[in-house]
């Protein structure tokens, strides 16, 4: 119900400022009760997908501008722009069963399958990002078949599933022992940790932890 409306908006079937069927119309056409239609539209409004005006109707909201310097960038592009050489070391790529936390992060059922990849990104042979990623198989069934020495997970995923929403947290943490090994840093070196989830058409595409050594990387945003 809610996802059907969102799909119509993301596919462009209902363009910006298009008038969305009223709650009563949705009751008739979709065969749901008004409370259900109301809840769906109310939640879409809270997410900023639509705007609602009492007495007038509901309308597709203009897309939020996004991705300043802190947006979702491909680390490979970043490195190449600096004129350096980018190399990926594939540490792990396998299917795994969702535990409690992972299931919640990917919005899947506990016990469902997920794809797990761990990759170290090097800039001029210096480890600069540890990418620990879980992928929703329903969105990217061929994920594990990719050649991760050539295509970044980011590039592959954005090519098959346009990003509709991003949730991102930035923290400062101390690395775990195994992370220190992979990044070739000391245990006492503070790191930037970015935890990011991306959605496409109301499904979680991927949940990723990006770990950067504090001495080798910083985030920049100018506006």
Partner DNA sequence: AAGTGGTCTAGACCACTTA
Partner DNA sequence: AAGTGGTCTAGACCACTTC
Task: Decide: is 208 part of the binding site for a copy of itself (CB under 8 A).
Answer: no
- Give all strands of the β-sheet with 57-60 in edge-to-edge order: 19-20, 57-60, 50-53
Helical packing angle, 34-46 and 2-10, nearest 10°: 50
Q: Are 135 and 118 in contact (CB under 8 A)?
A: no
Tokens found for residue 144: 């594990």
Which positions from 134 through 173 interact with a copy of itself, judged by CB under 8 A?
165-173
Write down how long the chain is: 223
Which CA distances in Å does 21 have to 1, 35, 39, 81, 117?
13, 15, 14, 46, 42
Chosen residue from 15, 46, 53, 223 binding DNA by CB under 7 A: 53
Closer residue to a copy of itself, CB minimum distance, 141 or 190: 190
Interaction pattern, residues 18-47, with a copy of itself; x per rule: CB under 8 A: -----------------x---x------x-
Contact between 44 and 5 under an 8 Å Cβ cutoff? The reply is yes
CA 90-91-93 angle, 5° bins: 80
Helix (H, G, I), strand (E, B) or coil at 30: helix
Site string for DNA, 5-44 (x = CB under 7 A): ---------------x-xxxx-----xxxxxx-xx-xx--
User: Based on CB atoms, which residue is closest to DNA, 2 or 209?
Assistant: 2
Contact indicator for 120, 91 with CB cutoff of 8 Å: yes
Reduced to 3 states, what is the DSSP secondary structure of residue 166? Answer: strand
**Binding to a copy of itself, residues 48-67 (CB under 8 A):** 64, 66-67
Of a copy of itself, DNA, none, which one sits near residue 116, judging by CB under 5 to 8 A according to partner kind? none
Residue 219 lies near a copy of itself (rule: CB under 8 A): yes
Residue 47 beta carbon to DNA: minimum distance, rounded to whole angstroms: 14
Size of the site for DNA (CB under 7 A): 24
Shortest separation between residue 135's beta carbon and DNA, angstroms: 23
Work out how close the CB of 51 gets to DNA at its nearest, in angstroms, rounded to a whole number: 9
Is residue 80 at the binding interface for a copy of itself, with CB under 8 A as the rule? no
Q: Which two tokens stand for residue 108?
A: 């899947």
Tokens of residue 47, six digits: 């997410």
Binding site for a copy of itself (CB under 8 A): 35, 39, 46, 64, 66-71, 165-174, 188, 190-192, 212, 214, 218-223
Residues within the interface to DNA (CB under 7 A):
1, 20, 22-25, 31-36, 38-39, 41-42, 45, 52-58
């Amino acid at each position: 119900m809610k996802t059907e409306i969102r799909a119509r908006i993301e596919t462009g079937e209902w363009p910006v400022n298009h008038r969305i069927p009223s709650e009563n119309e949705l009751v008739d056409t979709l065969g749901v009760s008004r409370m259900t239609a109301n809840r769906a539209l109310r939640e879409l409004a809270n997410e900023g997908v639509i705007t609602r005006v009492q007495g007038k109707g509901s309308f597709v909201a203009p897309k939020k501008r996004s991705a300043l310097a802190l947006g979702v960038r491909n680390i490979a592009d970043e490195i190449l722009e600096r004129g350096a050489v980018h190399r990926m070391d594939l540490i792990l790529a396998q299917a795994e069963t969702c535990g409690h936390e992972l299931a919640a992060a990917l919005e899947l059922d506990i016990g469902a399958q997920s794809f797990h990849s761990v990759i170290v990104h090097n800039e001029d042979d210096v480890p600069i990002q540890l990418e620990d990623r879980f992928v929703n198989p329903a969105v990217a069934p061929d994920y594990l078949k990719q050649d991760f020495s050539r295509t970044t997970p980011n590039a592959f995923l954005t090519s098959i599933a346009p990003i509709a929403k991003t949730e991102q947290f930035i923290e400062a943490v101390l690395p775990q022992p195994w992370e220190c090994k992979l990044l070739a840093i000391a245990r006492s070196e503070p790191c930037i940790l970015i935890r990011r989830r991306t959605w496409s058409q109301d499904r979680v595409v991927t949940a990723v932890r990006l770990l950067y050594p504090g001495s080798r990387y910083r985030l920049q945003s100018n506006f």
